Amino acid sequence: MPRYRLTIEYAGTRYSGWQIQKNARTIQGEIDAAVRSVTSRRDFELYGSGRTDAGVHAAMQVVHFDTDAVRSERSWVLGANSNLPETVSALWAQAVPASFHARYSARARSYRYFILNRSTRAALARHNVCWIKESLDHERMQMAAQALLGEHDFTSFRAAECQS
């Protein structure tokens, strides 16, 4: 059965994170429903390159799914987008080998955190920044951030059943 990779972006402000939850709106739920509507199938699984928490945004996140539905790569994108809310968008699709896995084939992940340090709150970027109105000690922050550089083992921060 052919496998497809779909690259997505989303504004996660109104979502309860990536992973499907019983009584919550999630990004995976939105993408899953949109792709199902294009495939006209009920029996497939959507795999993401990672999970995000509630309110988190993503750019260039990769998902994959297997289907025997025949569509062009352009049709996957247009079909998915026609069934997605305005806060979630499919950017491009690509047929990939069966050995490809959105999570395990990922070569890199990066995370950005934005601090808006001024006396007034943000209007335009209110969902994309952390607003701190108090003065920050940039030199101390830079010094402390040095401890985060490099490779680290965060095993002790994972849940016991985590598979990463």
Residues composing the chain: 164
Give me the catalytic one of 32, 53, 137, 153: 53
| Cβ atoms 46, 32 nearer than 8 A | yes
User: Is 53 considered catalytic here?
Assistant: yes
Report DSSP letters for the chain, one per residue: --EEEEEEEE-GGGSS-SS-BTTB--HHHHHHHHHHHHHT-S---EEES----TT--EEEEEEEEE------HHHHHHHHHHTS-TTEEEEEEEEE-TT--TTTT---------EEESSS--STTTTT-EEE-S---HHHHHHHHGGGSS----GGGS-TT---
Q: What is the set of active-site residues?
A: 53
